[in-house]
Amino acid sequence: MILSPETFSPDRIIDISVTLRQGLACWPGEEYWRLEPTQRMAAGYHCNLSRATMGLHTGTHVDAPWHFGEGDRTVEAIPLRQLVIGARVLGRAHVDAAVGRSDLEGKLDGIQAVLLKTTNSGKLEALEPFDRDFVHLDEGAAEYLVEHNISTVGVDYLSVEGYHVENAPVHHRLLGAEMLIVEGLDLSGVEPRDYLLVVLPLKIEGADGAPARAILIDSDHLP
């Protein structure tokens, strides 16, 4: 089947990735994004070359199960079926602390992936300082996702887990169920409904996570 150009027209594709640039907030202790010139044509070189330095959990990225020691699956082994998948964007702007079980009940039927749009969205892209009180998932929500066999979950800040939570129970529950976690999304311009999610992390051998480009495609226009 050949898809028409209209299927992938710009108004049907939404970039939900955060731009990697100077000033982008990152998790305390994680290495900030830096782009350094190594060659410049203005200095007499035949081309422009640069070197990038960053932590693997900076900006839009995925967590592999090995990130929290849940099995030995590293990022290059994440199944493609979890990266290209039908997804529901669920608006939860009313939540000011933690998304709980009650915020998800009755909303996950018939889907494999869910992206949570909260008041976090837009903060990273706007280069706001790191917010220790960002909206996150609690343990009840994590358990509900596992009960409903959700394959991929995405959030609009740098972690599914609250900054002040100890021992990472949410990460352990989700990754232990081999759920793909996508963090650092920008859902500020996205209408809550169903889409095709495409999230492609760098294929880095042995890595606990990787930066990714993530897009949504209007599923109403797919065959």
Per the annotation, the verdict on 67 as an active-site residue is: yes
Candidates 46, 57, 61, 67; catalytic one: 67
Residue 94's pLDDT band (boundaries 50, 70, 90)? confident
pLDDT tens profile 149-166: 999 999 999 999 999 999
pLDDT category of residue 7 using cuts at 50, 70 and 90: low
**In the predicted model, is pLDDT for residue 169 greater than 80?**
yes
The per-residue pLDDT for 37 is: 97
CA gyration radius for the chain? 18
Class of domain 10-20+56-221: alpha beta
Judged against a pLDDT cut of 50, whether residue 68 lies above it is answered with yes
What is the three-class DSSP state of 43? helix
- 210, 56 in Cβ contact below 8 A? yes
Angle at 112 between CA 110 and CA 115, to 5 degrees: 110
Domain chopping of the chain, boundaries: 10-20+56-221
HEC string of 178-193? Answer: CCEEEECCCCCCCCCC
Q: At what angle do helices 139-147 and 169-176 cross, to 10 degrees?
A: 10
> Judging by DSSP bridges, how do beta strands 113-117 and 84-91 pair with one another?
parallel
pLDDT over 60 at 223, yes or no: no
Residue 1 confidence (pLDDT): 47
Q: How many alpha carbons lie under 13 Å from residue 45 in its C-beta half-sphere?
A: 10
Instruction: Report the predicted TM-score, pTM, of the whole model to 2 decimal places.
Output: 0.93
% of the chain at pLDDT higher than 70: 94
CA distance linking residue 136 with residue 93, whole number of Å = 12
- Phi, psi for residue 15 in degrees, rounded to 5: -80, 120
pLDDT of residue 93: 82
